[in-house]
């Protein structure tokens, strides 16, 4: 059984004992492949080859196209600076006022360099892996992308003070998100991650008012195209779980602040839970302590649609031995 078949069995509820392993790797993957984060984020071949090298070494069960938040932002017209050993930097706010929002043109994702690069990455994965490994695409969620375009503080103020302005921005973000998801699925992505990290910083009522139905629309759209949908929100989202339970997700990433047992009670048994060891501990704890944490998590979640991972991105300075320890714990469940 190859990794794609194993992944499909997990999603269908047929994989009862094995625990798959897929941490979020970006800067770590670049350095492991002896390249820079700047090249990883700007060249799809570097990104794909770095991910495959990590997959082979750590026996990861999926690969992905995640790199940074500014693919769609760049397509909307923002200037992006690539930092050799850091996250790409957005140099300007595309939206300064409501006129900017109303006049903002919807970009052609195939003509814009950074969105086209990710689409090419999806095709390159299929060329190299030939459908044997599940590939995850990535889009920015509507609130995260609105913050990238208009500024984080400004957008959060807009949510409180100017609903119409907020909706104009997010509606345009949704158009691009749908098209970007479709393009990646057309090139072979098996699932699409929706990254909306800023949602952990708003209350449940604001989430329900502005974001919940938009997330549901994206999930339904991804499903209509034959792919699976994953939601990623960094931080503490315990307060959003009742709302998230209505989204019909296939996979959800949980950061270390979320109680997975409580999350499972609220979300039910149909969604795959992915997480959620604190990435700081993965980087800084000794391997014995890390083994105890991971084994406790596996014992709690094994047999219940679970993927072992860090709560968020694995830090670039994480010792290889620590990540390998997590891989070994996952592998052990697959051979027992």
pLDDT at residue 335 in the model: 64
Length of the chain (residues): 336
Q: Tell me the CA distances in angstroms from 251 to 34, 194, 269, 275, one per residue in order.
A: 31, 10, 11, 11
Ranges of residues in the chain whose predicted pLDDT is under 50: none
pLDDT at residue 16 in the model: 73
pLDDT at residue 54 in the model: 98
Residue 22 CA, chain-centre distance (Å), reads 11
Q: Residue 191, SS3? A: strand
Q: Tell me the CA distances in angstroms from 187 to 40, 75, 127, 244, 332, one per residue in order.
A: 20, 19, 10, 28, 33
pLDDT at residue 273 in the model: 97
Helix (H) or strand (E) holding 261: helix 260-267
Rounded-to-integer distance, Cα 311 and Cα 279, Å: 6
Six-digit token pair at 221?
Answer: 């759209």
pLDDT at residue 336 in the model: 56
pLDDT at residue 56 in the model: 98
The answer to whether the CB of 220 falls within 8 A of the CB of 248 is: yes
The verdict on whether omega for the bond into residue 266 sits within 30 degrees of 0, i.e. cis, is no
- The domain segmentation of the chain, as residue ranges, is 3-335
pLDDT at residue 15 in the model: 77
Protein fold of 3-335: TIM Barrel (3.20.20)
Q: Tell me the CA distances in angstroms from 130 to 126, 127, 210, one per residue in order.
A: 5, 6, 39
The answer to whether the CB of 142 falls within 8 A of the CB of 173 is: yes
pLDDT at residue 118 in the model: 98
Rounded-to-integer distance, Cα 241 and Cα 110, Å: 35
Token match 């998230």: residue? 244
CA-wise closest residue to 69 among 164, 147, 4, 134: 147
Rounded-to-integer distance, Cα 81 and Cα 12, Å: 42
CA-wise closest residue to 63 among 107, 21, 106: 21
Q: Is 159 left (phi over 0), alpha (psi -120 to 50) or beta?
A: alpha
DSSP letter at 131 equals: T
What's the Rg (C-alpha) of the chain? 19
Q: Tell me the CA distances in angstroms from 149 to 197, 217, 240, 274, one per residue in order.
A: 15, 21, 24, 29
Q: Residue 336, SS3? A: coil
pLDDT at residue 302 in the model: 81
């Amino acid at each position: 059984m190859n990794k794609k078949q194993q992944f499909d069995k997990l999603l269908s509820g047929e994989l009862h004992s094995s625990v798959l392993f897929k941490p979020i790797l970006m800067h770590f993957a670049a350095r492991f492949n002896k390249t820079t984060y700047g090249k990883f984020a700007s060249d799809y071949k570097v990104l794909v080859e770095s991910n495959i090298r990590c997959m082979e070494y750590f026996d990861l069960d999926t690969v992905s196209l995640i790199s940074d938040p500014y693919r769609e932002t760049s397509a909307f017209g923002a200037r992006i600076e690539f930092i050799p050993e850091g996250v790409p930097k957005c140099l300007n706010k595309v939206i300064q006022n409501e006129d900017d929002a109303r006049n903002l043109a919807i970009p052609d994702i195939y003509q814009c360099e950074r969105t086209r690069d990710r689409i090419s990455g999806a095709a390159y994965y299929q060329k190299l892996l030939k459908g044997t490994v599940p590939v995850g695409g990535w889009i920015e969620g509507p609130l995260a992308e609105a913050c990238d375009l208009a500024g984080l503080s400004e957008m959060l103020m807009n949510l409180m003070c100017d609903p119409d302005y907020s909706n104009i921005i997010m509606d345009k973000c949704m158009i691009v998100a749908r098209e970007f998801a479709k393009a990646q699925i057309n090139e072979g992505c098996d699932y699409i991650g929706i990254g909306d990290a800023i949602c952990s910083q708003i209350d449940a009522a604001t989430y329900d008012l502005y974001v919940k139905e938009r997330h549901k629309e994206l999930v339904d759209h991804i499903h209509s195209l034959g792919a699976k949908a994953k939601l990623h929100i960094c931080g503490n989202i315990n307060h959003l779980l009742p709302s998230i339970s209505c989204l019909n997700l296939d996979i959800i990433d949980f950061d270390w602040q979320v109680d997975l047992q409580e999350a499972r009670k609220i979300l039910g048994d149909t969604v795959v839970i992915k997480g959620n060891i604190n990435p700081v501990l993965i980087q800084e704890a000794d391997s014995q302590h890390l083994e105890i944490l991971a084994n406790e998590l596996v014992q709690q979640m094994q047999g219940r649609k679970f993927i072992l991972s860090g709560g968020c991105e694995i830090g670039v300075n994480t010792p290889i031995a620590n990540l390998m320890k997590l891989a070994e714990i996952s592998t052990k469940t697959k051979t027992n």
